[in-house]
Structure 1
Amino acid sequence: MLQVGMDRARQKKVQKYEEFVDRRLKPDLLRAMAERSDLKRNIENLEKNSVTSLRTMVNLGSEVYMQADVPDTSHIFVDVGLGFHVEFTRSEALNFIGTKEEQILRRIDEYTRLIASIKAQIKMVCEGIREILQLPVSEL
């Protein structure tokens, strides 16, 4: 019965990974992709319309906005994570956005493979216990 306790511990671990993927990574991915998509679309619009300066509203936090003048749009600051912003040219920013999206998708794929691997191990252990105890398939 020690093995059954280990099996339950593994199932809890799988459940935690699944919850992490569903509650944290997937929403993070959707939010990041939406933000990156907006940024990408804005950069492309700046280039398409040959905008060199602009007036915009900036969110200061808690949905408090302030008007801002941007005298030169050839370089922009992009949030790269952990509160850091990096100055990029428009083309560098577009390259960064693509790289960041790929990185997030790879992380989700890695967790998905890990979950599948753990589930397979749990199923194998359950099958082994069933065979050792000579139980019918429906018992475990």
Structure 2
Amino acid sequence: MDSYRQEKIQKFEEFVDRRLKPDLIRAIAERDKVFEQQKTFSDLRRNIENLEKNSVTSLRTLVNLGSEVYMQADVPDTKRIFVDIGLGFHVEFTWSEAINFISQREEKLSRQIEEYTRLIASIKAQIKLVCEGIRELLQLPAEKPLPE
């Protein structure tokens, strides 16, 4: 194999290893973070719905003080709750206001997940395309599709 072809193959491999694979790993990690946020809001919605359904007006609970240290807390009035809206800010909501906020946030998170999923598919397609280019440069036969 001539040196030009070998050099071209090496550049393709470096592009996959140094650019595409780290981009793919980063996109998957970001999508996983959004999934976690979505789960947190889903859990919050379920908890609020349970409070409403059971007409809970006061509550005794454990509060995480940090470093997995917990303390018992009494909540005398559960009609208003504080919701973390990001950047360390909390807003006081009624149950219905919180449900509306959570619905809007869940829609936004769903759109973000779809965007990351499209990005991940695009990066995977680029990797496959570069690998196909390497295969052609090596003059190897095309991969046979797997039987279903």
CA contact (8 A) 1:21 1:108 kept: no
Q: State the aligned residue count.
A: 136
User: Is structure 2 residue 74 aligned with structure 1 residue 74?
Assistant: no
1:39 to 20, 29, 44: 44
- What is the 5 A alignment of 1:98-137? 98-121=103-126, 135=139
1:129 positional shift: 8.3
Counterpart position of 1:9: 15
Please, what is the CA RMSD of the aligned residues? 3.0
Q: Give 3-state SS (helix, strand or coil) of 2:103's partner.
A: helix
1:85 positional shift: 1.0
Residues 114 and 7 of structure 1: is their aligned pair in 2 closer, same or farther, counting only changes over 3 Å?
farther
Residues 11 and 75 of structure 1: is their aligned pair in 2 closer, same or farther, counting only changes over 3 Å?
same
> 1 CA distance for matches of 2:42 and 2:116?
24
Deviates more, 1:119-128 or 1:70-79: 119-128
Residues 46 and 135 of structure 1: is their aligned pair in 2 closer, same or farther, counting only changes over 3 Å?
same
1:8 positional shift: 3.7
TM (norm. structure 2) is 0.68
> 2 CA distance for matches of 1:55 and 1:128?
63
The percentage of aligned residue pairs carrying the same residue is 59
Structure 2: where are the runs of 5+ without partners?
1-6, 143-148
